Amino acid sequence: MSEQHTTAIETWINEAINGGNLSVVDQLAHPDYVYRNPAEELRGAEAVKGLFAAYRAGFPDFHVHVDDRVADGDRIIQAFTLTGTHRGEFMGIPATGKEIEVHGFVMSRFADGKIVEEWEVIDQLTFLEQLGAGQPLVTN
């Protein structure tokens, strides 16, 4: 794991995601930046800043904690826990005041010292269940 990549990803998480300082995205996102999850693909710094801002509007205390980190060459894979309190509209769901705790993984790829690509998978079902918008799975 290159020290430069580690520093960049820690700044991305601590300042941009957790701190809400979206100017960091402009500094660390490669011009060809792309974010993917199973439901969408976002291209460019402005698009991912919109995603971060939407999370922050819905969950003002939004926080990502890195549980584990593995790196190989130009990639860093992180297991994380996302927490927050639903105090604003998010994904069309009015504020519920409910706290969430959701787990996920993200793989970040670097080019020219910047984040160029990210693939993220979050436990969306648990996320929606915690907001009261999904039905819990019954296992008998």
pLDDT single digits (tens) 23-82: 999 999 999 999 999 999 999 999 999 999 999 999 999 999 999 999 989 999 999 999
- Give φ, ψ of 6 to 5 degrees: -60, -45
Q: What pTM does this model have?
A: 0.89
Domain residue ranges of the chain, discontinuous segments joined by + = 3-131
Tokens standing for 129?
Answer: 């269940």
- pLDDT at position 2 is 79
Residues 6 or more apart from 43 whose CB is under 8 A from it? 33, 34, 35
Rounded CA-CA distance 34/36 in Å is 7
CATH number, domain 3-131: 3.10.450.50
Percentage with pLDDT > 70 across the chain:
94
The per-residue pLDDT for range 107-127, each reduced to its tens digit, is 999 999 999 999 999 999 999
